[in-house]
Amino acid sequence: MAYSFPEEVLEHVFSFIGSDRDRNAVSLVCKSWYEIERWCRRRVFVGNCYAVSPAAVVRRFPEVRSVELKGKPHFADFNLVPEGWGGYVSPWITTLARAYPWLEEIRLKRMVVTDESLELIARSFKNFKVLVLSSCEGFSTDGLAAVAANCRNLRELDLRESEVEDMSGHWLSHFPDSYTSLVSLNISCLGSEVSFSALERLVSRCPDLRSLRLNRTVPLDRLANLLRRAPQLAELGTGVYSAELRSDDFSNLVGALAGCRELRSLSGFWDVVPAYLPAVYPLCSGLTSLNLSYATIQSSELTKLISQCHSLQRLWVLDYIEDSGLEALAACCKDLRELRVFPSEPFNREGNVSLTEQGLVSVSEGCSKLQSVLYFCRQMSNAALLTIARNRPNMTRFRLCIIEPRCPDYITHEPLDTGFGAIVQHCKDLQRLSLSGLLTDRVFEYIGTYAKKLEMLSVAFAGDSDLGLHHVLSGCDSLRKLEIRDCPFGDKALLANAAKLETMRSLWMSSCSVSFGACKLLGQKMPRLNVEVIDERGHPDSRPESCPVEKLYIYRTVAGPRFDMPDFVWTMDEDSALRPS
Amino acid sequence: RTRRGDLNTDLRLGLSIVSPDAQKDNWIGPSVSKQREQRQDWPPIKSLLRTTLAVAGKADTNVHNVHNNDNSDRRRTSLFVKVYMEGVPIGRKLDLLTLHNYDDLISTLAHMFTTSITCPNGDRADHAKSLHVLTYEDREGDWMMVGDVPWEMFMTTVKRLKITRADRC
């Protein structure tokens, strides 16, 4: 006897299932579940915009309210992906505009967005609420003006780290006077001035505003007025944190900041003048997130601030904090989950600052909830890594960047294989790992053996041979993204593990030893992969087949090869003919 | 905005064709180490931070006095340079910190002075179409064509800008 629930009941049950993975599992149970599920899926996340066509997405999921897309490979953040590579959102927006009149949210990362697309978004979606453009480019303040003017129900406009061209218009003034629904605004990446009076009026009339991240052109002496209009703020990104403040200006600022009793997150602080930092002291005990990445001040000032933040969960800071500041952090901020330490002098061989591996060791000892680390430093030892691993087996994200490539253990002069080996051995739930320093194939053997939950691995200037790559591809069961630069990995490991590549989102290899011939072979063998060769030296046919390609980007796809490539990118095809762009 | 053909691409090419054995040696040879400061892709930090630090590190000597307790810790909040156009006696001022790259600079100036300026990374064939080219005075007092060095480096050496007639260059 077969019982089946009515569709409405199943749909109601499915409405409690949010995660994409669970939804995907549900859709595989049987045909009727697949059908019911696809009609009630409201959120779609496409991790690689070239993995599937927009038409296929809207065909399968007709009632979507929220779309998230990612474009360029992660290494684009560090200028490794040449301009013009791709990641154009335009075909997606065109399709979404036709298919989803009730679309509410669009989140894009590392995509090329045009003003035309922004205008189309502004015109097409009557109930549009959320626009997040993370590390995007290709648009100007004209596009933003269209969004401001037309999206009556906009809640969130977040331009984090995007490159926006300033057309000298007052785009912010395009929010009509009747518009009051703003909840979150992040314009910290904008280089140009925004109309301050328009900003003040906007903030005044939006009572639900919870997150406001200003850009560096907003002067400190106007900040107080702004804050008095938004005492309900939970997140604030200041503008430039320096000015010629008179003493009553300063006390005005102190009062305004203290009035924001819900403030939990602070960022901004460009050009911070230490004398004005005490204005934020009354907020410190409630802060959970502090981003001081642009605060070029010395350790004592940083330490004074941080040691008051007993509830701190996330800290981003420059290495000016030094080991002493990190010791204070370890002592005072017992709730810390995430630490990022950026290099203040990334281009100098020698640092001017007393930040070593000891700082990270202290934090790993003192902060029992520490899960996520990004740490730039100039020296490291296997002993320190072992200590960190033993202290923090709950670590899930560990990214270490020793600034000098191929830098050995500074005490023993050995490779850092055993240190990173300890990390993957002890931190059984490690999801993300970035390696640096002197590393042989041995470290990859450890990673392949122990890092069973690892999803993303970044490798630079490491390894001796193909064996290294083979260990990773054959051992890391959960691997989704692998990015490699300047390593002596070649054809053998790649071809031997071709099938693995279909289980991953993508593989990036630049300045390695993968030959053009191997790329062609891979493209032939694996029709469900796009094997893209990126080479700015010209047509690969003009060089011998054994010649290594400059850069290689391989990703799984059900959409076939793409056709929007520039003239320095080629897809290796089934018939192994090069596709002209 | 393209970086093709500039020093950094050459640097990367030089490293990528090297054989695996050679890569094991000290990868920074003497001729390469000087250029290392210009590397746009190492260490792996994002461009906004990279630009902020490059300017803070060079343009403002106070940063190196981070360990001094004396006087002002004031940082540069802007980087205004004078801009003159040939034949026009009155100049303008432009804050370079509001710009991201050479394309931004060219389009802003073209707008400001209502003319066409050769894009530094464009074809030399386009040279003929533009009325003007952009030059700058560097810290050593020499007048140079804009566009040859990486943007961050340019920002730390530029003292003033001049828009010259294209037929003069």
| Residue A347 to residue B23, Cβ atoms within 8 A | no
How close is the nearest chain A Cα to the Cα of B52, in Å? 7
Q: What is the predicted pLDDT for the residue at B154?
A: 81
B3:A82 CB<8 A: yes
Q: CA-CA distance, A252 to A119, in Å (whole number)? A: 40
Note whether A342 contacts B67, CB cutoff 8 Å: no
Q: In which domain, by residue range, is B99 found?
A: 80-165
Number of inter-chain CB pairs under 8 A, A vs B: 135
The answer to whether A183 touches A155, Cβ cutoff 8 Å, is yes
pLDDT for the residue numbered B5: 36
Mean per-residue pLDDT over chain A, rounded: 94
For the stretch A219-241, pLDDT in tens is 888 999 999 999 999 999 998 88
Q: With bands split at pLDDT 50, 70 and 90, how would you rate the model's confidence at B166?
A: confident
CB B31 within 8 Å of CB B51: no
Model pLDDT for residues A128-154, shown as the tens digit of each residue: 999 999 999 999 999 999 999 999 999
Name which of A72, A30, A24 is nearest A44 in CA terms. Answer: A24
Q: How confident is the model at residue B3 (pLDDT cuts 50, 70, 90)?
A: very low
Looking at residue B133, which CATH number applies to its domain? 3.10.20.90
Strands B80-85 and B158-165: parallel
Query: For residue A524, what are the contacts with CB-CB under 8 A and spacing of at least 6?
Result: A572, A573, A574, A575, A576
Q: Which of residues 15-74 of A touch B (CB under 8 A)?
A: none
How many domains does chain B contain in total? 1
Contact: A405, B27; criterion CB under 8 Å? yes
Question: Which pLDDT score, from 0 to 100, does residue B159 have?
Answer: 82
With a CB cutoff of 8 Å and minimum separation 6, the contacts of A536 are A82, A550, A568, B4, B9
* Structural contact between residues A397 and A373, judged by C-beta atoms closer than 8 angstroms: yes
> Model confidence over A476-503: pLDDT tens digits?
999 999 999 999 999 999 999 999 999 9
Out of A260-269, B79-88, B98-107, give the one with best mean pLDDT.
A260-269
Do you know the residue count of chain B? 169
**Mean pLDDT, rounded, of chain B:** 66
pLDDT of residue B120: 66
Q: Is B107 inside a domain boundary?
A: yes
Task: Identify which of A323, A466, A329, A342 has the alpha carbon closest to the alpha carbon of residue A399.
Answer: A342
Residues 6+ apart with CB under 8 A from A448: A471, A472, A474, A475, A476
Per-residue pLDDT tens for A12-33? 999 999 899 999 999 999 999 9
The string of pLDDT tens digits covering residues A435-464 is 999 999 999 999 999 999 999 999 999 999
Name every chain A residue with its beta carbon within 8 A of the beta carbon of B40. 78-79
Q: Cβ of A79 under 8 Å from any chain B Cβ?
A: yes
Q: Would the CB atoms of A536 and B44 count as touching at under 8 Å?
A: no
From chain A, pick out residues whose CB is under 8 angstroms from the CB of B65.
none
Tens of pLDDT, residues A349-384:
788 789 999 999 999 999 999 999 999 999 999 999
Residues A101 and A95: their CA atoms lie apart, in Å, by: 11
From chain B, pick out residues whose CB is under 8 angstroms from the CB of A294: 49, 52
Of the residues B25, B42, B63, the best mutation for testing chain A's interface (the one with the most A CB atoms within 10 Å of its CB) is B42
Residue in chain B nearest A163 by alpha carbon: B100
| CB nearest B63 (choices: A296, A342, A347) | A296
B19 against B94, higher pLDDT: B94
Task: Check residue B55 and give its pLDDT.
Answer: 72
**What pLDDT shows up at residue A347?**
82
Instruction: Give the confidence band of B74 by pLDDT, cuts at 50, 70, 90.
Output: very low
Flag if B2 and A168 touch (Cβ within 8 Å): no
- DSSP designation for A240: B
Residue A225, exposed/middle/buried by CB under 10 A (0-12, 13-18, 19+)? middle
Q: Within a domain: residue B153?
A: yes
Cβ-proximal residues to A354 (8 Å cutoff; 6+ apart), any chain: A299, A322, A323, A324
Residues A248-297: tens digit of each pLDDT: 778 888 889 999 999 999 999 988 888 888 889 999 999 999 999 999 88
Minimum-distance CB partner of B74 among A168, A273, A536: A273
Domain edges within chain A = 1-41
Q: Residue B54 — very low, low, confident or very high, per pLDDT cuts 50/70/90? A: confident
Residue A382 contacts residue B49 (beta carbons within 8 Å)? no
Say whether B129 sits in a helix, a strand or coil: coil
Backbone angles phi, psi at A481, to 5 degrees: -130, 130
- The CA distance from A443 to the nearest CA of chain B, in Å, is 16
pLDDT over 70 (residue A202): yes
- pLDDT given for residue B118 in this prediction: 79
Q: A327 and A351 in contact (C-beta within 8 Å)?
A: no
Contact between A344 and B107 using a beta-carbon 8 Å cutoff: no
Write the pLDDT tens digit of every residue in B118-128. Answer: 776 555 555 55
The reply to whether omega before A282 is within 30° of 0 (cis) is no
- Give percent of chain A with pLDDT exceeding 90: 86
pLDDT > 50? residue B36: no
% of chain B with per-residue pLDDT over 70: 54
93-152 in B: which are within 8 Å (CB) of A?
97-100, 104, 107-108, 111
Rounded to whole angstroms, the Cα distance separating A460 from A486 reads: 6
pLDDT for res B64: 39
From chain A, the residues in CB contact with B98 under 8 A are 166, 191-193, 217
| pLDDT above 70: residue B160 | yes
Q: Of the candidates A213, A174, A218, which has an alpha carbon nearest to the alpha carbon of residue A193?
A: A218
- Over the stretch A152-186, which tens digit does the pLDDT of each residue have? 999 999 999 999 998 866 899 999 999 999 999 99
Instruction: Please give the Cα distance from B152 to B6 (Å, whole number).
Output: 14
Class of domain A1-41: mainly alpha
pLDDT at B20 (0 to 100): 38
pLDDT (0 to 100) of residue A400: 98
β-strand pairing of B80-85 with A481-485: unpaired
Stretch among A234-238, A252-256, B9-13, B141-145 having the lowest mean pLDDT: B9-13
CA distance B48 to chain A (A): 7
- CB count within 10 Å of CB A261 equals 11
The predicted-structure confidence for A20-72, as pLDDT tens digits, reads as follows 999 999 999 999 999 999 999 999 999 999 999 999 999 999 999 999 999 99
Residue B155's pLDDT is what? 75
pLDDT of B22: 37
Q: Residue B73 and residue A274: Cβ atoms within 8 Å?
A: yes
Of A191, A342, A460, the CB nearest to B45: A342
pLDDT-derived band at B132, boundaries 50, 70, 90: confident
Q: Compute how many other C-beta atoms are within 10 angstroms of the C-beta atom of residue A541.
A: 10
The amino acid sitting at A473 is L
- Helix, strand, or coil here: A378? coil
**Helix/strand/coil for A398:** strand
Residue A3: the pLDDT is: 63
What was the pLDDT predicted at B30? 33
Picking from A294, A353, A550, the nearest residue to B52 by CB comes out as: A294
CB of B65 within 8 Å of any CB in chain A?
no
Q: Closest residue of A to B152, CA-based?
A: A347
